[in-house]
Amino acid sequence: MSKNLRITNNRFIDQTSKISFKFDGKTLYGFKGDTLASALLANNIHLVGRSFKYHRPRGIMTCGSEEPNAIVQLGKDPSMTEPNTRATEIELYEGLEASSQNCWPSVNFDIGAINNFFSPLIPAAFYYKTFMWPANFWKLYEYFIRKSAGLGKSPSQPDKDIYDHRYLHCDVLVVGGGISGIMAAKTAAKNNLNTVLMDDKNTLGGTTLFQQNECFKINNSYSNEWIKKEIKTLNSFKNLTIKTRTSLAAYHSYNYLLARENLTDHLDLNEKKDKIRQRLWKIRAKKVIIATGAMERPLIFNNNDRPGIILSSSIKKYIDYYGVKCGKKISLFTNNDSAYETAISLNNSGVSVNSVVDIRDKTNSLIVKQAEKLGIKIHWKSSVVNTNGYKKINSIEIMKLSDDNTATVGKKIIEECDCLGISGGWTPRVHLFTQSGGKLKFRDEDNVFLPDKSELDQISIGSCNGDFELDEVIKNSVKLTNNFLKVNNNDYENLEIISSKEIDKKNIWLLPSDIPLGKTKPFLDFQNDSTANDVKLALREGFKSIEHVKRYTTTGMATDQGKLSNMHALGIIAETAGVKMGELGTTTFRPPYTPLTFGVIVGRNVGEFFDITRKTPMHDWHVDKKAEFENVGQWKRAWYYPIDNENMHEAVQRESKAARDSAGILDASTLGKIDIQGSDVSEFLNRVYTNAWSKLEIGKCRYGLMLNEDGMVYDDGVTTRLSENHYLMTTTTGGAANVLSKLEDYLQTEWPELDVYLTSVTDHYGTVSICGPNSKKILSKVIPDLDLSDKEFPHMSFKNALIDNIKCRVMRISFTGELSYEINIQSSYAKSVWEKCFDAGKKFNITPYGTETMHLLRAEKGFIIAGQDTDGTMTPVDLQMDWIISKKKYDFIGKRSLYRSDTIREDRKQLVGLLTEDPNEILEEGAQIVGKTNKQPTEMLGHVTSSYFSPNLNKSIALAVIRNGKKLKGQKMFVPMKNKTISVTITDTVFLDKENKRLNA
Amino acid sequence: MFLINCPYCGERDQSEFSAGGEAHIVRPKQPTELSDNQWAEFLFMRKNIKGVQFERWNHSHGCRKWFNMVRDTSNDKIHAVYKMGEKPPIK
């Protein structure tokens, strides 16, 4: 470490605890309390990255979240590495490893820097303009552009860190722990309000914490001493929560805010282990006080981007807080008073200040006079017109400004320096205010946008509200806070405040130079490498809206969201276009204020917690039998049960054959089940299903089709009448929740007069479905007391029964076309009943089958699956299910839509069966169907919705929707595939057992 | 993220609710007597107002009750919530 860059008598950095870290592979040393940036500067390292477009060397420019240049890759572990982190925000810890981004092979020798020499050839929107044609070359261009661009590398392995989310409710949230925030939090806490104070730094106090200057005193103490006492008093309030290292990311309506708390990022590698890394606070605050302060603006002049050019206030923080000298010969360049604070701080710490270049005429504020008293040289009414030095600044060129400020005059002075502090005034941090929907107003006097109107219960205080002088900050913050909280805290009355006041203000957005503008490089957006020239070019090319100029030039679109660049871009646009800045407006600030890690956004919702997994009561049995599973909504359903080395096709063929030849067993527990009770249920069912329900007897089941009001099929299922006023409705697995909420909607809003109650009981019952010619024999072994004769227990009926004294409901219903029974039993018993049925069926080779076989079996019978054979555009008539539409009912959901001009069209797409010419050819689901092959382009007539090889028919079968399909029965069609065209014939949808004999086998 | 005052449960986070479109569209009592145009008016036509709008909301992850809301879509201010069947408290 270059010892001579540290001053020794520093109160914030513990110079006894040395920390080693690595930057670009080199081991360096810093101290506890340093940021990566301050430690690098202490090691005399300014060059930390290359710029995005021209690969120009870039150095640390700020000391906070607005940093555009010093963005580094943190860590090397492929699961933990993090790109685009700001060196100015990373607290140093033992073992930290960081590296530069956007440079190859190294930051000191970067091949991409050749772009800088070609920069006249790379104007704004160069990429848009150049790589437009030929269009099919884009693939090639993209490959190279992506390779040479890009900021950092994303991790290639899953993140091992733990993240967390928590809710927080409070009366008052104060954002920002500077002087205004501290006073506001204390005022709120003193008045018994449940208060939270947040700041993104590791300590409270803001810049006042290290402001030790004769010109800024409170009650005869330096302002830093006063604020330290104030911070101490905060600890006595039990109703005040202080969160440091917590960055407000987003401010939404209804005072809902998101904040990211860094919990372990500052800890040594071994201390981080097994702890929560970051936490996202979801905050609902009754009142919000924004005290986010202001950030310093750069100045826009030729070559203002060299390493060693740093915001003046940051140089002050590096010397006063971190005890780090940013250089040995520092020059300052300003348009306002605050650079003099830096000059005085440097001088007091023994760093020689070459001079202050001030674009204003001589001014006589308290602080300027003090600087002059210390013998600091000032170039009045002058400007820096150029800087020199490639990897680091080594001199500046100073010239006088003409009287109209549009040109430079006189002799050029060359001043040697190794660091240049720049100050272009201050920009209030209004980001959170605008995120919350607040409108801004413009103050011409010092060119700032300030909070104006807001719909929310909030205020902005301090410098984010445009108060830049210490006495005004205190006076106005106290007044605003008292009014806002309707309290009267008089702690801050009668304070004796000494504050230097800025007398003269002057601003030039784009400073003049002695060489023509076209040959200069005045950078606006340092991270995205756009210059004032680019913005001017955009205006010349006809762009007028600020939002368009922003996108065309990419100014303000980098990861820093243009925190430093936006004001100057606006200023230059307004000036060039001859409009007032207030009228131009700003671009939109969007959350997050600073980038968030994906980890903290998802919190604990990763891996198995990403989404709920629903398992049936028999799930473990399926796992034991090595079933493959299919996701249906959140459910895990057994898909098929391979034996030995069977593939899916083989397993499904075997299962399908067994179910029809002897017996199959299916876990149907996932079907939606809605318990319906009340005296008006039959009327209710009449209104929600297309068919008639009034005459359904107790103990009988009926299939129903449910439409949307637009006449399209929505869901289907069997409903059973359990007793006089008690029904059990089943729905599709995926549709269960939606059907329930749709039915609730109608009951609550359209038909409140109906006495009907709906309860979801999907999870309450497990359902064992056994089917096949031997299913009756098997069931009689499981429930010997039950009379299974066709007379007593016919198809579409239901019986209450007991299995080992446990009540269950048995329905004789079928989705396969086979004789079939479904046993519904309380979930906790379902697995044991399943096993009972399986054991009882062993003699009959009972075969467990999954969803794939179920789909195949129902397709053989031409039964639809809502959602597979329908897609929200199919009416029952399109499905050739006219039989299920009651002609007698006056109304049901969707009835009127069934004879709209569009739904009665005869050439709608209709459901048909398809048989392939070659019975072994299996069609692909989703394949398009055409009528002719000799004409191109040919018309698509429809598509395949379901397709299987039927082992029971020994041929391929498919269902499809085809335009005017009903009338095309027997016609030949074609299914063009990538390598061949398959000939098919349109048939009836029912392929097997048209007479339904098997139901009573 | 709104804070919604469910008429049955009180103030809850927006994430517990789902929006259900424009309110006070009564399902015709005799749909069969409507022309295609009249039915289409009920079925498809919805307002999309910038300003004060009457909306249906459902406390879907709470009491599952439907209710109505008067909301200004330009600033998301909720002026009133009221139960189904009740008259809007403001015009």
- Which tens digit of pLDDT belongs to each residue from A372-381? 999 999 999 9
Q: Is A162-294+428-499's fold the same as A298-424's? A: yes
Nearest to A895 among B20, B31, B77 (CB): B31
pLDDT of res. A230: 97
A256 touches chain B (CB under 8 A): yes
If you measure CA to CA, which chain A residue comes closest to B74? A437
Bridge partners of residue A241, in order along the sequence: A196
Which residue do the tokens 């006041």 mark?
A501
Nearest to A745 among B1, B13, B66 (CB): B66
Cα angle A857, A863, A869 (rounded to 5 degrees) comes to: 105
A744/B64 touch (CB, cutoff 8 Å), yes or no: yes
pLDDT of res. A636: 97
A900 touches chain B (CB under 8 A): yes
**pLDDT, average across residues A656-660:** 97
A529 against A758, higher pLDDT? A758
Domain boundaries, chain A: 3-130, 162-294+428-499, 298-424, 508-606, 672-857, 904-1000
CA dihedral A112, A116, A118, A121 (to 10 degrees): 110
Bridge partners of residue A981, in order along the sequence: A976
Confidence category of residue B31, pLDDT binned at 50, 70, 90: very high
Cα distance from A91 to chain B (closest Cα, Å)? 33
- Which residues from B are below 8 Å from A897, CB to CB? 39, 43
If you measure CA to CA, which chain A residue comes closest to B76? A253
If you measure CA to CA, which chain B residue comes closest to A253? B1
Nearest to A749 among B13, B64, B66 (CB): B66
Cα distance from A549 to chain B (closest Cα, Å)? 26
B1/A750 touch (CB, cutoff 8 Å), yes or no: no
pLDDT of res. A117: 64
A253/B66 touch (CB, cutoff 8 Å), yes or no: no
- Which residues from A are below 8 Å from B34, CB to CB? 896
Superfamily of domain A672-857: Probable tRNA modification gtpase trme; domain 1 (3.30.1360.120)
Nearest to A254 among B2, B36, B43 (CB): B2
H or E stretch covering A180: helix A179-190
CA distance A664 to A994: 21
Domain A3-130 classified CATH 3.10.20.440? yes
Domain A904-1000 classified CATH 3.60.15.10? no
The answer to whether the CB of A245 falls within 8 A of the CB of A201 is yes
Confidence category of residue A442, pLDDT binned at 50, 70, 90: very high
A455/B77 touch (CB, cutoff 8 Å), yes or no: yes
CATH topology of domain A162-294+428-499: FAD/NAD(P)-binding domain (3.50.50)
Confidence category of residue A582, pLDDT binned at 50, 70, 90: confident
Res. A403: pLDDT tops 90: yes
For chain A positions 269-298, those within 8 Å of chain B (CB to CB) are 284
A741/B58 touch (CB, cutoff 8 Å), yes or no: yes
Confidence category of residue A491, pLDDT binned at 50, 70, 90: very high
Bridge partners of residue A498, in order along the sequence: A217
A437 touches chain B (CB under 8 A): yes
Scanning A752-822, the segments in alpha helix (DSSP H) are 775-782
If you measure CA to CA, which chain A residue comes closest to B56? A749
- Which residues from B are below 8 Å from A891, CB to CB? 30-32
- Which residues from B are below 8 Å from A253, CB to CB? 1-2, 75-76
pLDDT tens-digit series, residues A183-203: 999 999 999 999 999 999 999
Res. A261: pLDDT tops 80: yes
User: Which chain B residues have any C-beta within 8 angstroms of a chain A C-beta?
Assistant: 1-3, 13-14, 20, 27-28, 30-32, 34, 36, 39-40, 43, 56, 58, 60, 64-66, 75-77, 84-85
A143 touches chain B (CB under 8 A): no
Cα distance from A246 to chain B (closest Cα, Å)? 21
Strand order through the sheet with A82-86 = A26-32, A14-23, A97-100, A71-74, A82-86
Mean confidence (pLDDT) of chain B: 94
Confidence category of residue A76, pLDDT binned at 50, 70, 90: confident
Size of interface A-B (CB pairs under 8 A): 56
Look at A43-57, A118-132, A624-638, A829-843 and tell me which has the smallest mean pLDDT. A118-132
For testing contact with chain B, the best of A255, A687, A748 (most B CBs within 10 A): A748
A983 against A113, higher pLDDT? A983
pLDDT of res. A926: 96
pLDDT tens-digit series, residues A803-852: 999 999 999 999 999 999 999 999 999 999 999 999 999 999 999 999 99
**pLDDT, average across residues A338-344:** 97
CATH topology of domain B3-83: Folate-binding fold (3.30.2270)
pLDDT tens-digit series, residues A303-326: 999 999 999 999 999 999 999 999
Res. A853: pLDDT tops 90: yes
- The upper half-sphere exposure of residue A265, i.e. CA atoms within 13 Å in the direction of its Cβ, equals 25
Confidence category of residue A80, pLDDT binned at 50, 70, 90: confident
A120 against A733, higher pLDDT? A733
Evaluated on CA atoms A729, A733, A734, A737, the torsion sign reads positive
A897/B84 touch (CB, cutoff 8 Å), yes or no: no
Superfamily of domain A298-424: FAD/NAD(P)-binding domain (3.50.50.60)
Res. A146: pLDDT tops 60: no
Res. A159: pLDDT tops 60: yes
CA distance A882 to B31: 20
If you measure CA to CA, which chain A residue comes closest to B72? A455
If you measure CA to CA, which chain A residue comes closest to B23? A749
pLDDT tens-digit series, residues A599-653: 999 999 998 899 999 999 999 999 999 999 999 999 999 999 999 999 999 999 9
pLDDT of res. A120: 62
Cα A923 to Cα A500, A919, A964, A981, A989: the distances in Å are 84, 10, 21, 11, 16
pLDDT of res. A557: 84
High-pLDDT (> 90) share of chain A, %: 84
Res. A147: pLDDT tops 70: no
Res. A137: pLDDT tops 70: no
The two beta strands, A352-358 and A378-379, are parallel
A528 against B58, higher pLDDT? B58
The two beta strands, A276-290 and A458-460, are parallel
Nearest to B75 among A455, A748, A749 (CB): A455
Nearest to A741 among B1, B36, B60 (CB): B60
**pLDDT, average across residues B39-47:** 95
If you measure CA to CA, which chain A residue comes closest to B1? A253
The CATH number corresponding to A508-606 among 1.10.10.1100, 3.60.110.10, 1.10.10.10, 3.40.1280.10 equals 1.10.10.1100
Mean confidence (pLDDT) of chain A: 93
B31/A745 touch (CB, cutoff 8 Å), yes or no: no
- Which residues from A are below 8 Å from B75, CB to CB? 253, 437, 455
- Which residues from B are below 8 Å from A890, CB to CB? 32
Confidence category of residue A2, pLDDT binned at 50, 70, 90: low
CA distance A599 to A259: 14
Confidence category of residue A938, pLDDT binned at 50, 70, 90: confident
Q: Assign 3-class secondary structure to A283-341.
A: EEEEEEEECCCEEECCCCCCCCCCCCEEEHHHHHHHHHCCCECCCCEEEEEECCCHHHH
For testing contact with chain A, the best of B1, B16, B67 (most A CBs within 10 A): B1
Confidence category of residue A907, pLDDT binned at 50, 70, 90: very high
Look at A290-304, A340-354, A533-547 and tell me which has the smallest mean pLDDT. A533-547
The two beta strands, A240-243 and A195-198, are parallel
